[in-house]
Amino acid sequence: VASLYLDQVVQSLSAAGYTVVSYIFPHGEDSKSAETLFRVYDFLIKEQLTRSDFIVALGGGVTGDLAGFVAASYMRGIDFVQIPTTLLAAVDSSVGGKTAVDLDEGKNLVGAFYQPRLVLCDPDTLATLPPEQFRAGMAEVIKYGMIGDEVFLNSLLARPAAEHLEEVIAACVAMKRDVVSRDEFEQGERRLLNFGHTVGHAVERCRGFALSHGEAVAIGMAVLSRAAVDKGYCGEETLTRLLQALQQYDLPMETDCTVEELSAAALADKKRSGDKLRLVVPERVGRCRIETIAADSFHEWLKAGGVQ
């Protein structure tokens, strides 16, 4: 991303009167680590940034999560701005104030709720996305239709998202904005935004993050929806519509991870509370519910969802 857009952003900020310094790190989930975090701290101290300065996160979800947590914690909090350059970051991770880094034991285990002062989504930056990254973002887009807007999901099935991308991004951001404004710290309704994520995070970890976050979330939505049908939470037509959307955007719907692998990974996730685990389960297209289950029964849900 730096080779594509950094010069333009630096020139724009410099022309507005700001002094700009830049820190570049390798792309990918491996960089969302404590090691990178402390290297960034060292850089900020060396460059003498203070509370009157601010951080700009230019990149995808990894960049936004890491830079946001740096901003939340450096000198007990300085301002930051999100400029997402992937579809997934534009529609989801840049909005809402979740910031974090990963630990060896799981994703996003150290972080903070910390709102950016500004999120600037420029759809033109998505023109340089590799096809697989665009597909990954579509998993989160489909999620919004499943949890809150059947008409929106229908629009994704009727017309390729790439043909009305600005409207798609705006609709997703509006949905997330409204949910976060009612439940900023994820005590209730905001948990619905985690549809597919409990299984998805486990898939990511089991596969050493070889799958993208979006691909893993797509698998997670499919697994939980199959289980929801099996357990009577929703009808077959709900599963059919989800799978149709995932297939249309060339997203995976199954995993070769085992029940044992996914159970162990999920039970290390932050969504676990004591001996309970919260799952987001579809009732119909456009409506999901939060179901709290015994953690030791999660393997039954995975089996019902088609995991071997």
Query: What are the catalytic residues?
Result: 76, 98, 140, 176, 186, 190, 194, 197, 201, 213
Dihedral angle over CA of 24, 27, 28, 34, nearest 10: -10
| Half-sphere exposure in the Cβ direction for 61 (13 Å, CA) | 23
Q: Give how far the C-alpha of residue 145 lies from the chain's centroid of Cα atoms, to the nearest Å.
A: 15
Look at the alpha carbons of 31, 33, 37, 39 in this order and tell me if their dihedral is positive or negative. negative
Tell me the one-letter amino acid at 141. V
**DSSP conformational letter for 113:** E
Give start and end residues of each alpha helix (H) in 128-212. Answer: 131-148, 150-158, 165-182, 197-206
Q: What is the dihedral of CA 56, 58, 189, 29, to 10 degrees?
A: -120
Which residues lie closer than 8 Å to 249 by C-beta, 6 or more apart?
135, 138, 139, 142, 156, 161
Pull the structure tokens for residue 292. Answer: 């709290």
Residues paired with 16 in a beta bridge:
none
Reduce the DSSP state of residue 204 to 3 states and report it: helix
Q: Do residues 263 and 271 touch, judged by C-beta distance below 8 A?
A: no
